[in-house]
A and B are shown apart, each in its own frame.
Chain A
Amino acid sequence: EAQVTQNPRYLITVTGKKLTVTCSQNMNHEYMSWYRQDPGLGLRQIYYSMNVEVTDKGDVPEGYKVSRKEKRNFPLILESPSPNQTSLYFCASSLKVAPVSTDTQYFGPGTRLTVL
């Protein structure tokens, strides 16, 4: 089944304890992206990746890191989480047909992160 998977689905952690949220897609998509969803703010893009080893900042990249060593995986890393990073996080991928702006994105189920 074509899908985007995220792990873990739920995570409670403490301030400053490094964590990684994994994202994997099995559709051979080139474009991958991370979003955070907060009430009243919709989804805001954190980072995106056009291809392996190519990443760029979205609108809210502060406090986050990403890597794209393989096409299928795009982990989100919080080196030193803080309470303001408590949020619902979504990973998404798309095929990257030209032009990429017309792509349909396929979303993972979300990861609910709480930082105490």
Chain B
Amino acid sequence: AQSVTQLDSHVSVSEGTPVLLRCNYSSSYSPSLFWYVQHPNKGLQLLLKYTSAATLVKGINGFEAEFKKSETSFHLTKPSAHMSDAAEYFCVVSGLGGYQKVTFGTGTKLQVIP
């Protein structure tokens, strides 16, 4: 079985300050982990993914995430928030070994204050 927990449903930051969106997972397999972003009234777009290569993953728009197996975490960070980062972010886990299901977290809405 696999699950993913996004620890904050809403995060509010000021423009230019760091962003931290937290994600913890559990998986019976060695997981692949993703972050997707959904801007208002839009579909989802991949930000970055971890697939058992480097544990620090860089994505688009200056975002990065670090896979920490000991903490079962995959937190998303960005050094400096931009107004265009306001969106909903989803942490996603899928398993190896032929387990094809994909499990989404419940999402974190990021508000960026000017």
Query: Which of under 10, 10 to 19, 20 to 34, or 35 or more describes the interface residues of A?
Result: 20 to 34
Complex: how many Å from CA A101 to CA B99? 8
8 Å CB contact of A58 from B31, B96, B98, B101: B101
Interface string of B81-95 (1 = CB under 8 A from A): 000000000100011
- The answer to whether A40 touches B106 (Cβ under 8 A) is yes
By the criterion CB–CB under 8 Å, are A107 and B45 in contact? yes
Please report the C-alpha to C-alpha distance between residue A109 and residue B40 in the assembled complex, in whole angstroms: 11
In the complex, which residues 74-114 of chain B have their Cβ closer than 8 Å to any Cβ of chain A?
90, 94-107
Question: Contacts A99-B96, A102-B51: A110 and B43 contacting too (C-beta < 8 A)?
Answer: yes
Q: Does A44 contact B (CB under 8 A)?
A: yes
Contacts of A35 in B (CB 8 A): 104
Known: A58-B101, A90-B44, A102-B49. 7 other contacts (CB 8 A): A4-B43, A31-B100, A35-B104, A45-B101, A100-B94, A102-B51, A104-B49
